[in-house]
Amino acid sequence: MSDEHSPEYYKNKFIPLIYLVGAILIVGTIITFAADKMGVFTSFTNAIIFAMAVAVVKASAVIYIFMHLKWDIKLKTISLTLGCTVIFFIGMMWLTVGSEIDSNKPGHSDNTWNHVTEPEPETAPETK
């Protein structure tokens, strides 16, 4: 966080914000746990969407307030670093997940890892 804040800001604004984020994290955890224990998820897909949505909210609160990105996001170094990380990571995952998805399409026979040697094409007998 930038240093322009006064001690009063930390006391009156920032510390209550810390407790607020702490409460969000605790409530998020309890909601996810309780939903699972009570068996409210009707399908695997619903469970993923719900649990990941809550996790993203919790993670955003941590990054935004605890890691000071609310105040630091304007700084180009952090923005560039995070931006490059996200782009690189998505690219890297696309290479693996994308290829997996393609190979699992119905009717597609994947022989990537079979290491089957292709038979030598028959060549016509040499003529003198």
Binding mask 63-92 for other proteins (x = CB under 8 A): x--xxx---x-xxxxx--xx-xx--xx--x
Minimum CB distance to other proteins smaller for 45 or for 127: 45
Minimum CB distance to other proteins smaller for 4 or for 120: 4
- CB-count burial class (<10 Å; 0-12, 13-18, 19+) for 34: exposed
User: Whats the size of the chain, residue-wise?
Assistant: 128
Alpha carbons 82 and 79: distance in angstroms, whole number: 5
Residue type, 44: F
Binder to other proteins among 40, 62, 87, 102 (CB under 8 A)?
62
Binding mask 99-118 for other proteins (x = CB under 8 A): -x------------------
H helices present in the chain, as ranges: 7-9, 15-37, 44-61, 69-72, 76-93, 99-103
Contact status: 95 vs other proteins (CB under 8 A): no
Between the alpha carbon of residue 103 and those of residues 92, 106, 113, 114, the distances in Å are: 17, 9, 11, 13
Binder to other proteins among 12, 16, 18, 70 (CB under 8 A)?
18
Alpha carbons 77 and 118: distance in angstroms, whole number: 51
Q: Tokens 């009707």, residue?
A: 42
Residue ranges that bind other proteins, judged by CB under 8 A: 1, 5, 7, 10-11, 14-15, 18-19, 21-22, 25-26, 29-30, 32-33, 36-37, 41, 43-44, 47-48, 51-52, 54-55, 58-59, 62-63, 66-68, 72, 74-78, 81-82, 84-85, 88-89, 92-93, 96-97, 100
